[in-house]
Amino acid sequence: GTSSILHGTLEQDVSLDGVETEGVALTMTCPECAAVVPLASQECPMCGYDFRTERDKDAPELVSSIAMMEINLLNRSSFEWVNLFADHSAFISAGFDAWGGVFFYQGHWYSIGGKKGVNPKVLSVGKHINALAAADDWLNQNETEDAAHKTKAWLTEEPTEKQISVLENHLKLDFNLTRYEASAHITFKLNKQKIEDVITEHGTD
């Protein structure tokens, strides 16, 4: 049914067909301390490991042109993208006034934009990189550079007590969760039904 179109909303152990091949993981694991960090990170916020050396060494052999395009987009972005589920089917970046999301549903990536006081809307439907670019553009148009810098500082801070009280139970026990990641998960939780509604409405147009 449409109530569980986004992976992880009801059944977290159900796999969506095509996610592994269509999507590109937007997180990576630090080889030094095993922390999970955003793909665009220049260095590990936990131990300071420099990823640039490894990228320079491995990029020509291991990274496809599409993946490189996504990495370039992420490196240019003022915002960090949080992978919500283990199968890389949903990503959110949240600022103070607006948020952008990229969600995989029925073979397509849906780019969704939302902001305070306004219902979420579909920005684009198609390939992962196109959806990511549309959501990133939405954030650039609806958030300030100052807000982006302030929220990025949350990447090294622990969630607040208020955030922990709102998080899903399984996330409350994740002691590696940052304040920024908590903000993204809470944004998804508060807007989940509206996101599902706007995606299904778009699919029936």
Residue 37 confidence (pLDDT): 75
Residue 18 confidence (pLDDT): 35
Residue 7 confidence (pLDDT): 45
Give me the count of residues in the chain.
205
Residue 29 confidence (pLDDT): 76
User: Over 80: is that where the pLDDT of 40 sits?
Assistant: no
- Which domain does 114 fall in, by range? 2-203
Instruction: Report the percent of the chain where pLDDT is more than 70.
Output: 66
pLDDT, tens digit (0-9, with 9 covering 90-100), for 93-148: 988 889 999 999 988 999 999 998 889 999 999 988 889 989 989 998 998 777 66
Residue 143 confidence (pLDDT): 85
User: Over 60: is that where the pLDDT of 6 sits?
Assistant: no
3-state secondary structure of 99: strand
**CA-CA distance, 47 to 176, in Å (whole number)?**
13
Across the beta sheet with 118-126, what order do the strands follow? 82-83, 90-94, 98-105, 108-115, 118-126
**CA-CA distance, 1 to 5, in Å (whole number)?**
7
**CA-CA distance, 148 to 80, in Å (whole number)?**
9
Residue 22 confidence (pLDDT): 39
Q: How many domains does the chain have?
A: 1
Residue 90 confidence (pLDDT): 93
Confidence of residue 16 (pLDDT cuts 50, 70, 90): very low
Which two structure tokens, joined as six digits, stand for 79?
A: 């915002």
Q: For the whole model, what pTM was predicted?
A: 0.65
- 173-193: average pLDDT: 91
Confidence of residue 13 (pLDDT cuts 50, 70, 90): very low
Start-end of H helices in 6-122: 19-22, 52-62, 65-76
Terminal Cα-to-Cα distance of the chain (whole angstroms): 18
Residue 169 confidence (pLDDT): 86
- Residue among 199, 1, 200, 2 nearest 111 (CA): 199
**CA-CA distance, 62 to 125, in Å (whole number)?**
28
